[in-house]
Amino acid sequence: MTLAAGASGRNPCVAVLGGSFDPVHQGHVALAQLFASLLRPDALRILPAGQPWQKNGLEASDADRVAMLELAFASLRSTSLPVTIDLQEIERRTPTYTVETLRALRAELGPRTSIVFLMGADQLRKLDSWNEWRELFALANLGVATRPGYDLAQEALPPVVAQELSTRLATPDTVRLLAHGKVCLAPTLDVDLSSSQLRAALQSGADASALGMAQVLDYIQQHNLYKN
């Protein structure tokens, strides 16, 4: 389904946030909120992974991860930004490759839509390990948010990744208008969390209130998730 152009006649823009979300935490939501303010996208797609090829087995079930995402992103849904939990990677039932997902999104959304795949700077540093990683730029733009401890001006990127970035950096407004091929670097997020940190706190019985969102933590407790 191709999105209609906006009232101004500009091409539509869809921000895409993928991940294992095992479990979802404030950092994921903060990343989406950051690029929602920078790009003013017409829609946000949340893509929970089915079988991520670079990670071991997921601890929570597909249904639980999706339910936690619904709770976590309810606040963004209350704004004017349409938020969709896209289940295509879960339904694929094969190892998950981002390039395949972006091909499916491009076929669905049409050639003119600006697709912006969101990630943290830590993911950018290992981008060259992704399957067909150069093909990503032919399918989408990248929105990269630095995290505390990651300064892209100083951090050593793989030379091949740095070379790709050198000709692709663009402002949010430019990325908003172009269908693919550009990279938007965003200011540092003030949330430095990982799902593994949250899982470790939950498994040890430590207070996880500073790491997870209250509604998600309530769900985890009610469904007895992430216990040893």
Q: Which stretches of the chain are DSSP H helices?
A: 26-39, 62-72, 74-77, 88-92, 98-109, 121-124, 136-139, 159-166, 172-177, 195-204, 214-222
Question: Does residue 184 sit within a domain?
Answer: yes
pLDDT of residue 203: 85
Query: Quick check: is 211 in a domain?
Result: no
Q: How far apart are CA 100 and CA 163, in angstroms?
A: 24
Please give the helix or strand (H or E) that residue 183 lies within, else none.
Answer: strand 183-186
Residue 190 is predicted with a pLDDT of 65
Beta-bridge mates of residue 114: 13
Total domain count, the chain = 1
* pLDDT band at 186; cut points 50, 70, 90: confident
Burial class (CB in 10 A: 0-12, 13-18, 19+), 226: buried
Is 112 within the bounds of a domain? yes
Residue 116, domain member (yes or no): yes
- Asked whether the beta carbons of 57 and 19 are under 8 A apart, the reply is no
Establish if 1 belongs to a structural domain.
no
What is the pLDDT averaged over residues 181-199?
82
Q: Are 189 and 202 in contact (CB under 8 A)?
A: no
pLDDT of 151 reads 61
What confidence tens digit (pLDDT) does each residue in 29-40 have?
999 999 999 999
Residue 203 falls within a domain, yes or no?
Answer: no
Taking the C-alpha atoms of residue 51 and residue 62, their distance in angstroms, rounded to an integer, is: 10
- What is the C-alpha to C-alpha distance for residues 124 and 145, in angstroms, rounded to an integer? 10
Report pLDDT digits (tens) over 138-162.
Answer: 999 999 987 666 666 666 788 899 8
Residue 138 lies in a domain: yes
Mean pLDDT, range 73-78, rounded to an integer: 84
Q: Tell me the C-alpha distance between 72 and 195, whole Å.
A: 14
Distance CA 223, CA 151 (A): 38
What percent helix, strand, coil does the chain show, rounded to 5? 40, 15, 45
Query: What mean pLDDT, rounded, does the chain reach?
Result: 87
* Domain assignment present for 8: no
What's the whole-model pTM score? 0.90
Which whole number is the average pLDDT over 106-134? 94
Asked if pLDDT for residue 167 goes beyond 70, the answer is yes
More confident site: 220 or 122: 220
Average pLDDT over every residue of 173-188: 92
Q: Using CA atoms, how far apart are residues 16 and 18, in angstroms rounded to an integer?
A: 6
Q: Do 202 and 227 meet the contact criterion of CB atoms below 8 Å apart? A: yes
Which residue segment(s) compose the domain that 56 sits in?
Answer: 13-193
Burial of 184 (0-12, 13-18, 19+ CB in 10 A): buried
- Predicted confidence at residue 7, as pLDDT, reads 42
CATH number of 39's domain: 3.40.50.620
pLDDT at 157: 85
Q: What pLDDT score does 209 carry?
A: 82
Cα–Cα distance between 146 and 190 in angstroms, integer?
9
In this predicted structure, what is the pLDDT of residue 94?
A: 79
